[in-house]
Amino acid sequence: MMKSNEDVDTISLARFLEALYGSGLRATDPRLVEFSARLGNLTEDMVDRITFKNLVEPNIAIISRAFRRKFIIPDFTAFASRLDDIYNQCVNVTDGNVASYIPELAKADPNCWGYAMCTIDGQRHSLGNCTIPFTMQSCSKPLTYAIALEHLGADGVHQYVGQEPSGRIFNALALDIDNKPHNPMVNAGAILICSLLQNLVHFEMSFEQKLAYIMQHVQKAAGGEFLGYNDDVFLSEKCTGFRNYALAYLMKEQKCFPEMADVEEVLSLYFSTCCIESHCESMSVMAATLANGGICPITDEKVFSSATVRDVLSLMHSCGMYDYSGQFAFKVGLPAKSGVSGSLMLVIPNVMGLALWSPPIDRHGNSCRCLKFCELLLQEYNFHPYEHMGHATIKKRDPRMYSHHLQESTVLHLLFYAAAGDIGALRRHYLAGFDMSLGDYDGRTALHLAAAEGHLDCVKFLVEHCRVPCDPSDRWGHSPLDEAKGFQHPEVEQYLSTHLKNG
Ligand code: GLU
């Protein structure tokens, strides 16, 4: 940590930057624009206080949050390196095949593998092929759905399309019981969404303008980062996507579309949205915007309303992973969307967004490596929404800021109960799975407090049932036995010394 006291006249920029970027901020972060520009003008490593002050002043809010460890993942370096390990473990997954039903997609390199993450505080990290563009394919579906919701509201959209998992393959020739497409995450539903965008949103726009409008929206969600368009894949889909034609005409026959919809135009818009290109870096920001209630973490721009995001995430959760959505919800429990180009967008609400990309996909259409990554991530971290923070039997890691607070407050409670001699409360905490040996900032444990206050029953409970270590030292080098002696509780003293002697 940097010192800022009066004795320090100069500061090393290299060390300062190491700490700043270690927090997960990037030099290219829009919230550091002035800082990065001023930094570019400095040539020396050691700078004086005035120069340093001028450097950080325009972006002091975000810089000071970084140094006060106020981001959602306080120990970002450790977290990122664990995710890199998970990424590396997935290299061994060689299952699946590159999608071939769209001829252009068959050209993808099966060895490509990349991931990127962006937290709700804009902490970034990536590894592997994270800047190679891929077509978004079905990963565009949550975004087109979000744009439609923004303009038409949930009722406006859902009079045309359902909210139910289809239980069928993504491009199944099937509608729901009301003759509507099942949901906006499968092909029929997404084609329907395109008909709404085409006909009920800015009807005055030409086809090109409409596509540009959609792309602008998506790019805002990506914090202005990379977005491209792949004309070859578009032509490939348009010439060979007969199933999508069949779906669209089935829906036309069933009067699913708004009246004035032109099927060919609707399909062209649908194919175009599938052919928007992004890469892991930019897609991770889109996912982070969804994790952050619609506000892009790196630009602070409100891209979608929180109601829109809630609806999008709900359907990603239940329908985002093709015919594997139920199993994914069971194992991972998080909203996600995958596409046949091998990409996967994973949203950890209120924490971060992840984008993963590896072209070989399984029979459902999900990338095999990406799936493995999600499963390993959830095996290690307690991101599953139904995983209880305190009472879980298998303790998983929680890298979030508030977990520290949670732990601190639990320790305070434990110490309080021990000091008060409330053995019932200690028992409940023990049964709930809390670590009874935890100490506070000064290294004081429940056993110290119980011994200092002479609560023999609590001391016995902690030692015999909870099997806490008997002689932990606090910051003054005092053990529970010292406490019992110092505060003159001979029974406790006797008990602890016998116990220590007997090992
Ligand atoms: N463009 C593809 C199709 O419509 C998208 C499929 C997908 O990623 O699920 O068939």
Domains of the chain, earliest start first: 2-67 (1.10.238.210), 81-380 (3.40.710.10), 404-501 (1.25.40.20)
With tokens 């305070």, the residue in question is 412
Residue 224 has pLDDT above 70, yes or no: yes
Q: Which atom of ligand 1 is nearest to the CA of 241?
A: 10
Q: What's the pLDDT score for residue 3? A: 46
pLDDT at 393: 65
Indicate the top mutation candidate among 242, 276, 340 to test ligand 1's pocket, ranked by most ligand atoms within 8 A of CB. Answer: 340
Using 50, 70 and 90 to split pLDDT, how confident is the model at 331?
very high
pLDDT of 283 > 50? The answer is yes
> Whose alpha carbon is nearest atom 7 of ligand 1?
138
- Which are the contacts of 26, defined by CB distance < 8 A and separation ≥ 6? 32, 124
- Of 165-179, 349-363, 466-480, the poorest mean pLDDT is in 165-179
Determine the distance separating the centroid of ligand 1 and the alpha carbon of 244, expressed in angstroms.
Answer: 9
Catalytic residue numbers read: 138, 141, 270, 322, 340
- Residue 411 scores a pLDDT above 90: no
Average pLDDT over residues 454-479: 95
Structure tokens at 454: 């002479």
Q: Maximum CA pair distance of the chain? A: 90
Per-residue confidence (pLDDT) for residue 168, from 0 to 100: 75
Q: Could you read off the pLDDT of 343-379 as tens digits, one per residue? A: 999 999 999 999 999 999 999 999 999 999 999 999 9
**pLDDT above 80: residue 385:** yes
Ligand 1: residue whose CA is nearest its atom 4: 187
C-alpha of residue 324 to centroid of ligand 1, in Å? 16
Ligand 1 center–CA 161 separation, angstroms: 18
pLDDT value of residue 151: 98
pLDDT band for 412, please (50, 70, 90 cuts).
confident
Nearest to 119 by CA among 64, 80, 61: 80
Least confident among 88-97, 179-188, 407-416: 407-416
- pLDDT classification of 389: cutoffs 50, 70, 90: low
With a cut of 60, say whether residue 7 has pLDDT above it: no
pLDDT band at 87 (very low <50, low <70, confident <90, very high): very high
> Please, what is the average pLDDT of the chain?
93
Specify the residue with its C-alpha closest to ligand 1, atom 9.
Answer: 138
Q: List the residue whose alpha carbon is closest to atom 2 of ligand 1.
A: 137
pTM of the model: 0.83
State yes or no: pLDDT of 174 exceeds 90: no
Q: Would you state the pLDDT for residue 434? A: 80
Average pLDDT of span 322-330: 95
Q: How far is the CA of 360 from the centre of ligand 1 (A)?
A: 15
Give the ligand 1 atom nearest the CA of 340. Answer: 8
The ligand 1 atom nearest the CA atom of 365: 9
User: What pLDDT band is residue 253 in, cutting at 50, 70 and 90?
Assistant: very high
Beta-carbon contacts of 280 under 8 Å, excluding residues fewer than 6 positions away, are 114, 115, 116, 126, 128, 129, 130, 131, 343, 355, 356, 357
Instruction: Note the pLDDT tens digit of each residue in 61-74.
Output: 999 999 988 899 99
Cβ-based neighbour number of residue 311 at 10 Å: 22
* DSSP letter for each residue of 201-225: SSTTS-HHHHHHHHHHHHHHHTTT-
Distance from residue 132's CA to the centre of ligand 1 (Å) = 19
- Residue 51: what pLDDT? 95
Span of 43-57, 163-177, 225-239, 458-472 with lowest mean pLDDT: 163-177
Confidence check: pLDDT of 181 > 90? yes
Q: What is the 3-class SS of 16-62, one letter each residue? A: HHHHHHHCCCCCCCHHHHHHHHHHHCCCCCEEEHHHHHHHHHHHHHH
Dihedral, CA of residue 328, residue 331, residue 333 and residue 338, to nearest 10: -30
CA quadruple 229, 366, 385, 437: dihedral positive or negative?
A: negative
Q: Give the pLDDT score at 8.
A: 63
DSSP 127: E
**DSSP per residue, 232-264:** HHHHHHHHH-HHHHHHHHHHHHTT-S-TT--HH
Atom number, ligand 1, closest to the C-alpha of residue 101: 10
Give residues with Cβ within 8 angstroms of 202, minimum separation 6: 209, 210, 213
Ligand 1 contacts (CB < 6 A) are 137-138, 170-171, 187, 237, 241, 244, 274, 339-340, 365
pLDDT computed for residue 405 by the predictor? 61
* Percent of the chain topping pLDDT 90: 85
Question: Among the atoms of ligand 1, which is closest to the Cα of residue 275?
Answer: 1
pLDDT surpassing 70 at residue 333: yes
Token couple for 181: 């497409």
Question: Best mutation site among 137, 283, 341 for ligand 1, i.e. most ligand atoms within 8 A of its Cβ?
Answer: 137
Report DSSP letters for 420-444, one per residue.
HT-HHHHHHHHHTT--TT-B-TT--
Report the pLDDT value the prediction gives residue 391, as an integer from 0 to 100.
62
Spacing, Cα 274 to ligand 1 middle (Å): 7
Calculate how far, in angstroms, residue 327's C-alpha sits from the geometric centre of ligand 1. Answer: 21
More confident of the two residues 395 and 373: 373
Checking if the pLDDT of 476 tops 70, the result is: yes
Taking the CA of residue 271 as reference, the ligand 1 atom at the shortest distance is 1
Report the residue among 138, 144, 243, 357 best suited for mutation to probe ligand 1: largest number of ligand atoms under 8 A from its CB. 138
Answer yes or no: is pLDDT of 124 > 90: yes
CA distance 182 to 277: 26
Distance (angstroms) between ligand 1 centre and the Cα of 94 equals 22
Pocket test for ligand 1, best of 98, 166, 168, 187 (most atoms within 8 A of CB): 187
